[in-house]
């Protein structure tokens, strides 16, 4: 499930601007395939940061994640159309900065499920043994 939807994007940006950013065929309407792709890309970026601490995908997504998903999607659409927007570039930077804080545990996401510690850092009582070597340097010496 996506963290944001087209309606979330429309809350942050005028629909006419969304049409300009997505309509490559001059149909006059928002191309939902392009917005869906931008949202998927945004959500993948969010998961790459939050997945270090939280179980992803988050369901339900905290409100802040929905907002960040919409922000990153809009910034991605600007980039898709090669439109330089300092406002959305700055918003993207702030969103990524926030996600970086989430990744290191400096900020918590209310309602998100914390991922259990990976087994890499835990010691294991299992040991492995192998048979004695059949061929060694000493046995092969002089052959």
Q: Let me know: does 26 contact 7? Beta carbons within 8 Å.
A: no
Provide the pLDDT for residue 64. Answer: 96
Q: Let me know: does 68 contact 46? Beta carbons within 8 Å.
A: yes
Share above pLDDT 70 across residues of the chain, in percent, rounded to a whole number: 91
CA distances in angstroms from 95 to 38, 43, 48, 135, listed in the order given: 15, 12, 13, 60
pLDDT tier for residue 113 given thresholds of 50, 70 and 90: confident
Least confident range of 25-29, 59-63, 131-135: 131-135
Helix (H, G, I), strand (E, B) or coil at 57: coil
Q: Let me know: does 44 contact 37? Beta carbons within 8 Å.
A: no
Task: Give the alpha-carbon dihedral of 85, 91, 97, 99, to 10 degrees.
Answer: -120
Report, as an integer, the average pLDDT of 118-143.
Answer: 68
> What phi, psi does 4 have (nearest 5°)?
-140, 165
In tens, the pLDDT along 54-107 reads 999 998 999 999 999 999 999 999 999 998 899 999 999 999 999 999 999 899
Q: Let me know: does 38 contact 73? Beta carbons within 8 Å.
A: yes
């Amino acid at each position: 499930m996506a963290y944001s939807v087209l309606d979330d994007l429309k809350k942050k940006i005028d629909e006419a601007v969304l049409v300009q950013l997505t309509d490559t065929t001059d149909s006059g309407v928002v191309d939902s395939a392009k917005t869906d792709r931008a949202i998927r890309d945004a959500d993948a970026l969010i998961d790459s940061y939050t997945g270090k601490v939280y179980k992803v995908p988050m369901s339900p997504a905290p409100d802040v994640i929905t907002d960040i998903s919409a922000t990153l999607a809009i910034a991605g659409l600007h980039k898709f159309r090669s439109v330089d927007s300092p406002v959305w570039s700055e918003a993207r930077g702030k969103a990524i900065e926030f996600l970086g804080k989430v990744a290191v545990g400096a900020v918590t996401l209310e309602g998100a499920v914390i991922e259990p510690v990976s087994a890499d850092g835990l010691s294991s009582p299992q040991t492995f043994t192998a048979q004695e070597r059949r061929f060694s340097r000493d046995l092969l010496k002089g052959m």
